[in-house]
Chains A and B, each alone.
Chain A
Amino acid sequence: MGNVYNSLVEIVGAEYVSNQPEETFFYSRDPGLSEPHNPDFVVMPKTTEEVQKIVLLANQEKIPIVPMGGSLTLSGLCIPLKNGIVLDLKRMNHILEINEQSRYALVEAGVSHGVLQSYLNRKHPRLMHSAPDAPPMNTVAGNVAIHGSGHLSQETGFHSEMVQGLEVVLPTGEICYTGSCSVVPKWFARAPLPDLAGLFLGWLGTTGIMTKLSIRLYPKPLKKDVLMFVTENPDYMPDIIYNVTETKMAEDVNLFAQPKPDWAEGFQHTVINITGNSEEEMSFKRRLIRRSLHKYIHNKVGGFMFVLPMIKPGMMEAPMRTLSNFADVEKGGGFEYIGVIIPTENFPILYRDAIQIAEKYRPKWSIMCRVIGRGHSMMFSYAWPFNRADPDDMEMAKKALHESNISGLKSGGVIWKPEVEGQRMMMEAMDPHTLKLLQTIKKTLDPNGIMNPGNWEAK
């Protein structure tokens, strides 16, 4: 490994390579419950060329590489299951271009959502991007790579759908481009070319390393408000989602249910964010949304809660700072969730399952969901906090996660950003030809099996 170390130093400089116990400890784990695996090296490249050289070295030495952004998936996707090199991409942090007219942002892989948001607020206040709920250190590239979603997803889909172009270092070291930028200088569209971006989205870093990407930006409205609709029966939810999304008035639609605070237990809360450029527009949108749920109000089975003005800003910020507080519910610094992408009509099944799992394992829990597209699907999450200082508590949380994976699949969903166990379950359930195609693509792109090995590996 001495040669490898020296080679890495030659590529990025000694101050950006570490095989020290401090780094190998920290980068061996993430804030979730996955077992730690030590990397041999943690490397921080600055340019695509450096990434390329590292990949070539890794092929030569047959060392695994794990690309890493914010490492905030909580599913252990940046943990080096087979050791090797963790490539912390956050030094590649330039915002390269904001194209106002065509509304896209071209960024390096290490640009975080927080920095992009701040940059747009200051320099391009008419534009915004879709911000996930993950903390702001979460990278744009990392989030699209796992098909993340955010506050604009109800209008416009998964974040992967917002990708206009990629620069990728293939596992064999070539630098490739997808989308319009592969033909012309601007990164403004994926269509009408064969959609090569799909080779890198959802693959959990097993098919290449994104080094640059272009994502869609959207007009930024001047005003925002939030409504919260409360029900006591989960069976209403599919219809509620259908009606609200049918109005096309909401920017973001989320649902949550949890036992704490005590007034929340037993209720489903549909949080509807609306935005606009005038009070007239806002008033109009509020009215249409309320009308869309009129039958529930009329029958007294659903109603809009009065949201205190001091609570609203926190509910409307993206990302929501308070979401991270969930990790401290057990005063334990941890939570992990299983996210399942489901058709909205399956919500009641998963909801009831989640309550049952909670009754078995976790007195404190949370169901958090986001509607994607105009109700084309939803991200349903079973979130379990745990106490990092209590091994028994962590074991219970792992059991809850395991049963959540089973429940999610059984109930007709597809596990989002699955950890290894979730991947295994999905591959077992997967159509065999599809699975074969998946493996073929991986093998073709990564003949030496160096890219985040251990992920998407069928037995």
Chain B
Amino acid sequence: MEYEDIIHRCFRCGYCKFPEDYHDINCPSYRKFGFETYSPGGRMWLIKAWLNKEINTSNRYGEILYSCATCGNCMEHCVMPFKDDLLNIFEAAKAELVNGGIIPPGVRDYFKAINVNLNPYKEPQDTRSDWVQDAGIEMYSGQEYLFYVGDVGSFDERGKRMARSVAKVLKEAGVSMGILGSEETCDGNEVKVLGEEGLFQFLAEKNITQFNELGIKKIITLDPHAFNVFKKEYPDLGGRFLVWHYSQVLAELARDKKLPLHEFKAKVTYHDPCYLGRHNRVYDEPRRILKAIPGLELVEMSRNRENAYCCGGGGGNFFTDILGMGEDSPSRIRVREALDTGADILAVACPVCAKMFEDAVKTEEIEDRLKIMDLAEIIIEARNQ
């Protein structure tokens, strides 16, 4: 297994569990399950034990590995020199399980759906552009940018609302872009982190070939997960594109005064999505947009930027639901934290976060006190007021 020569170097000191100021447990799976085995250090020691045949493959072992939300808090705060490889190690260990054919049912179903349907929702691909409705966005035919929507933005109701808002705002700001619609395929980020390397390669190569054939050079993504995989993984497979997350584009438009921003009196707190923040260091642009909106008061949660607490949707958990929705689920903890700031709105920049948090506020019965809105939805709401 790759990285086998460094796994033993974990000291299980536990820095990986915390944010920088030790505010609270920042590892979603450890917070939820409580056993040390569900922490990054626990995983490292168990992977080593598995390699040494001191433990066998089991449902529990699979659950432990796949409960990781790949939020990157461990990579950020581990004090050891190999910290940047932590998620890679977990991915390699999951790949071993995939190769052995023993993976949790939710994970297996996720792979199967993508394999068969090219999306995890098992929906026909030709419904992929149903989200467009009145957004007025065209199919890609040589515009400057491809607007890549992704699975959640295409099929999940909450994600679709967000996709429409973002598309509208970009279009109205004059961004030249088109979508692939029913021709769009899953980007493969979650497939990769869940250890299905073969399926990921298939998806990536399919996408790269398609993008190249269409002459696509620049991509704007809705979803930070797609942003991550296009930027970091596609180049090695021949996919070299200029990639932005929509928040970066909006920030630049706002800076250049090409994005009309209307007054919006609200107290807003912003959640850093893991694949935008920790994984790709984009912290400022979303905040710049919010600060540029007249009347909007931006307040920060204690755990923000590289210390943000994950919504729990990453690492495939959005689909596999290993972390569940109990009182200690990441999204419920996070919305409580947002509420504590006194904010009326929890701003998001990721459709996965949007959905996770919207479900959480309902479960917490605070949806009348805390609204979940993405950056574009806030801009539109301000305009409509």
Q: Which of A91, A115, A137, A387 meets B34, CB within 8 Å?
A: A91
B42 touches A26 (CB 8 A): yes
Within 8 A of A (CB), among B7-29: 8-15, 17-18, 21-24
Within 8 A of B (CB), among A20-70: 20-23, 25-27, 31, 42, 44, 70
Cβ of B79 under 8 Å from chain A: yes
List of B residues within 8 angstroms of A328 by Cβ: 9, 11, 80-81
A324 touches B8 (CB 8 A): no
A118 touches B11 (CB 8 A): no
B13 touches A72 (CB 8 A): yes
Nearest-neighbour CB distance to chain A for B101, whole angstroms, equals 19
Cβ of A277 under 8 Å from chain B: no
Known: A26-B42, A88-B36. A114 touches B18 (CB 8 A): yes
List of A residues within 8 angstroms of B37 by Cβ: 22-23, 26
A388 to B8, CA, bound (A): 6
A72 to B15, CA, bound (A): 12
Cβ of B292 under 8 Å from chain A: no
Nearest-neighbour CB distance to chain B for A118, whole angstroms, equals 4
Nearest-neighbour CB distance to chain B for A89, whole angstroms, equals 11
List of A residues within 8 angstroms of B11 by Cβ: 31, 324, 327-328, 333-335
- Closest A residue, CB atoms, query B11: A327
Q: Which of A20, A137, A333 meets B17, CB within 8 Å?
A: A137
Cβ of A278 under 8 Å from chain B: no
B18 touches A325 (CB 8 A): no
Cβ of A332 under 8 Å from chain B: yes
Known: A115-B23, A321-B79. A25 touches B46 (CB 8 A): yes
Cβ of B118 under 8 Å from chain A: no
Cβ of A121 under 8 Å from chain B: yes
Within 8 A of B (CB), among A329-374: 331-335
Known: A42-B35, A325-B79, A328-B80. A118 touches B12 (CB 8 A): no
List of B residues within 8 angstroms of A90 by Cβ: 34
B8 touches A22 (CB 8 A): no
Known: A118-B21, A135-B14. A22 touches B9 (CB 8 A): no
List of B residues within 8 angstroms of A122 by Cβ: 23, 302
A31 touches B13 (CB 8 A): yes
List of A residues within 8 angstroms of B55 by Cβ: 21-22, 25
Known: A18-B35, A136-B14. A115 touches B22 (CB 8 A): yes
List of B residues within 8 angstroms of A31 by Cβ: 11-13
Among A72, A122, A333, residue most surrounded by chain B Cβ atoms (within 10 Å):
A333
A109 to B37, CA, bound (A): 20
Known: A135-B15, A321-B15. A331 touches B9 (CB 8 A): yes
Q: Which of B22, B45, B56 meets A117, CB within 8 Å?
A: B22
Cβ of B232 under 8 Å from chain A: no
Within 8 A of B (CB), among A203-217: none
The size of the chain A interface, using a CB distance under 8 A, is 44
List of B residues within 8 angstroms of A327 by Cβ: 9, 11, 13, 80
List of A residues within 8 angstroms of B45 by Cβ: 25-26
Nearest-neighbour CB distance to chain B for A219, whole angstroms, equals 20
Known: A112-B22, A122-B302. A333 touches B14 (CB 8 A): no
Cβ of B54 under 8 Å from chain A: yes
Cβ of B291 under 8 Å from chain A: no
Q: Which of B8, B60, B81, B302 meets A389, CB within 8 Å?
A: B8
Cβ of B242 under 8 Å from chain A: no
Cβ of B33 under 8 Å from chain A: yes
Within 8 A of B (CB), among A125-140: 135-137
Cβ of B333 under 8 Å from chain A: no
List of B residues within 8 angstroms of A113 by Cβ: 22
Cβ of B280 under 8 Å from chain A: no
Cβ of B293 under 8 Å from chain A: no
A332 touches B9 (CB 8 A): yes
Cβ of A440 under 8 Å from chain B: no
A21 to B8, CA, bound (A): 19
A137 to B12, CA, bound (A): 10
A22 touches B64 (CB 8 A): yes
A22 touches B22 (CB 8 A): no
A25 touches B35 (CB 8 A): no
List of A residues within 8 angstroms of B58 by Cβ: 20-22
Nearest-neighbour CB distance to chain B for A313, whole angstroms, equals 12
Q: Which of A21, A27, A388 meets B60, CB within 8 Å?
A: A21
Cβ of A16 under 8 Å from chain B: yes
List of B residues within 8 angstroms of A333 by Cβ: 8-11
Q: Which of A22, A27, A112 meets B61, CB within 8 Å?
A: A22
Known: A22-B55, A325-B79. A121 touches B21 (CB 8 A): yes
Among B36, B42, B55, residue most surrounded by chain A Cβ atoms (within 10 Å):
B36
Encode A87-119 as 1/0 by CB contact (under 8 A) with B: 010110000000000000000000011110110
- Closest B residue, CB atoms, query A137: B14
List of B residues within 8 angstroms of A15 by Cβ: 33
A223 to B15, CA, bound (A): 25
- Closest B residue, CB atoms, query A322: B79
- Closest B residue, CB atoms, query A119: B23
List of A residues within 8 angstroms of B46 by Cβ: 22, 25-26
B13 touches A137 (CB 8 A): yes
List of B residues within 8 angstroms of A136 by Cβ: 14-15, 18, 22
Cβ of B49 under 8 Å from chain A: yes
Known: A25-B54, A26-B46, A321-B15. A88 touches B34 (CB 8 A): yes
A449 to B18, CA, bound (A): 37
Known: A44-B34, A72-B13, A324-B13. A118 touches B81 (CB 8 A): no
List of B residues within 8 angstroms of A44 by Cβ: 34-35
A91 to B31, CA, bound (A): 10
List of A residues within 8 angstroms of B9 by Cβ: 327-328, 331-333, 388
Known: A22-B46, A91-B34, A333-B8. A135 touches B81 (CB 8 A): no
Nearest-neighbour CB distance to chain B for A163, whole angstroms, equals 22
A70 touches B24 (CB 8 A): no
- Closest A residue, CB atoms, query B33: A15
Q: List 9 A-B contacts (CB under 8 A).
A: A22-B60, A42-B35, A115-B24, A117-B22, A121-B21, A135-B15, A321-B15, A325-B81, A333-B8
CB within 8 Å of A: which residues of B?
A: 6, 8-15, 17-18, 21-24, 33-37, 42, 45-46, 49, 54-56, 58, 60-61, 64, 79-81, 302
Q: 20 new A-B pairs (CB below 8 Å) besides A20-B58, A26-B37, A118-B24?
A: A21-B60, A22-B37, A22-B55, A25-B49, A26-B46, A44-B34, A44-B35, A71-B36, A72-B13, A88-B34, A91-B34, A114-B18, A118-B22, A136-B18, A137-B13, A321-B15, A321-B79, A324-B80, A332-B9, A333-B10
Sort A-B residue pairs by CB-CB distance and give the 4 closest, nearest first.
A114-B22, A137-B14, A327-B11, A333-B9
